[in-house]
Amino acid sequence: MKILAIETSCDDTGIAVLEVKGTKSSPDFNALSNIVSSQIEVHKKYGGVYPAMAKREHQKNLIPALEAALKKAEMLKIFNFQFSIFNEFLMSKFSKLENILERESDLFKKLIPFLKKYKKPDIDLIAVTNGPGLEPCLWVGVNFAKALSYFWDIPVIPVNHIESHILVNFLENKDIKFPVIALVVSGGHTQLILMKKIGDYKILGETRDDAAGECFDKCAKILGLGYPGGPAIAELASSVIASEPAGKRGNPEPFHKTLDSRFCGNDISLPRPMINTKDYDFSFSGLKTAVLYADKKIKNKNKKYKQEMAAEIQQAIIDVLLKKTMKAVKDYRAKTLILGGGVSANKELRKQFTKKIKTETFGFLPNGKKPNQIKLLAPDPELSTDNALMVAVTGYFHRKAMRHPPGVLKTLKANANLRIS
């Protein structure tokens, strides 16, 4: 089967086409296209994402992204005749589309010429992110999916954004062993999830305030770095990490002093919030505040200071994520650890998780039985951040719950606070 997927939950406009072959229990995924149209340039000036502006950009980007995705998948076929405005059937369909896209009139204006120009593609299912995310952005994708579903008469399936950050790992990995512990770390979420099988999730813990990605972004703003902050901090930190004696960083002691006074003439330490609590929750807003106060004390904000600070911020976040995740892995005797979400693109985070998984003794059994073997999975970095391919994979696994037009027009809704469990 072929799935067309749509992702507009935040500031990336994604359209993908996924072909699935193989058997039900062992599907073979073949990504025919995966187009991500980033809005970074637009939001950079403001240091963050403004939903109304992101909604406008999604409306602008969706048709070019759809065109590019179908073209790459070799599914873009031009009609060899002109539509007549006297075709009443079509006119009534277009007017229905206008209703569906009532609040996305810019998108409607771009969609009509597209539908007049190209034939219905060979697609069996449309998958769309319906939450969680920024509500106005989610609605653009959802209403676009409804419009295509209605016009082309293709069933549609709503997809949970958090679940798709996890299930993208199934794209290239077969025989994933359960139970799985999944750490989803993005700009909007930080959750530790116990997964007994696909579709069976329990949130073990989550952030009580800012998400890990949000913390990267806010700290980057304090340091005067670009948006998004995660890659900017990672880049700055990498020069310090590369020149550092092995073993200096990665010591998850709260309030330990890592900023070297040789470099910035100041003695700054960042906290590791909630690192030793018995639950699986996180808190990152205090870390951001600590960075703000520390930064105020620095007079000479030279490059070396920024590099040191970036490395310390990154390490503080990694320390907390690593400690809580390993606790969940041990407590639930997980067989697989899955990382997902934008922050999981972070190289240093991956390196330290990989090292921990290799060196830690899991499930040590005094009766001589083999210790639990853990496998660590993380998507290609470009699939860690928002994209539509992950939506397509998730749509495939839940295809039984697909909704057919015209019922879908009433029942499909965006939900900014959608929960995985």
Binding residues (CB under 6 A) for ligand KG4: these are 10, 186-188, 213, 216-217, 228-231, 234, 341-343, 345-346, 385-386
Number of residues that bind Zn ion (CB under 5 A): 2
Least distance from ligand KG4 to the Cβ atom of residue 276, Å: 24
Choice between 136 and 229, CB closer to ligand KG4 = 229
Does 307 contact Zn ion by CB under 5 A? Answer: no
Residues whose CB falls within 8 Å of the CB of residue 280, separated by 6 or more in sequence, listed in order? 192, 204, 205, 324, 327, 328
DSSP characters over 55-112: HHHHHHHHHHHHHHHHHHTT---B-SSPPPTT-HHHHHHHHHHHHHTTT-HHHHHHHH
Pairing mode, strands 27-38 and 336-340:
unpaired
Does 130 contact Zn ion by CB under 5 A? Answer: no
For residues 297 and 282, give the distance between their C-alpha atoms in angstroms, rounded to a whole number. 27
Least distance from ligand KG4 to the Cβ atom of residue 284, Å: 11
DSSP characters over 186-216: -SS-EEEEEEEETTEEEEEEEBSSS-HHHHH
DSSP characters over 120-139: PPS-SEEEEEEESS-HHHHH
Least distance from ligand KG4 to the Cβ atom of residue 363, Å: 30
With b meaning 16 or more CB within 10 Å and e meaning fewer, what string describes 275-301? Answer: beeeebbbbbebbbebbeebbeebeee
Choice between 154 and 389, CB closer to ligand KG4 = 389
Choice between 211 and 264, CB closer to ligand KG4 = 211
Question: 117 to each of 41, 48, 114, how far by Cα in Å?
Answer: 30, 36, 5
By CB under 5 A, the residues from 253 to 282 that bind Zn ion are none
Choice between 179 and 226, CB closer to ligand KG4 = 226
Least distance from ligand KG4 to the Cβ atom of residue 161, Å: 6
Tell me if 218 sits within 8 A of 226, measured CB to CB.
no
User: What string marks each residue from 329 to 368 as x (binds Zn ion by CB under 5 A) or -?
Assistant: ----------------------------------------
User: What string marks each residue from 385 to 414 as x (binds Zn ion by CB under 5 A) or -?
Assistant: -x----------------------------
Least distance from ligand KG4 to the Cβ atom of residue 41, Å: 15
Largest CA distance in the chain: 81
Choice between 157 and 343, CB closer to ligand KG4 = 343
Cα 64 to the chain's mean position, in Å?
22
As beta bridge partners, residue 33 has: 17
For residues 119 and 115, give the distance between their C-alpha atoms in angstroms, rounded to a whole number. 7
Residue 190 binding result from ligand KG4, Zn ion, none, given CB thresholds of 5 to 8 Å by partner type: none
Least distance from Zn ion to the Cβ atom of residue 381, Å: 13
Sign for the pseudo-dihedral over CA of 87, 90, 92, 98: negative
For residues 207 and 273, give the distance between their C-alpha atoms in angstroms, rounded to a whole number. 11
Residue 205 binding result from ligand KG4, Zn ion, none, given CB thresholds of 5 to 8 Å by partner type: none
Choice between 7 and 104, CB closer to ligand KG4 = 7
Least distance from ligand KG4 to the Cβ atom of residue 331, Å: 26
Amino acid identity of residue 383, one-letter, is L
By CB under 5 A, the residues from 1 to 60 that bind Zn ion are none
Residue 132 binding result from ligand KG4, Zn ion, none, given CB thresholds of 5 to 8 Å by partner type: none
Does 186 contact Zn ion by CB under 5 A? Answer: yes
Binding site for Zn ion (CB under 5 A): 186, 386
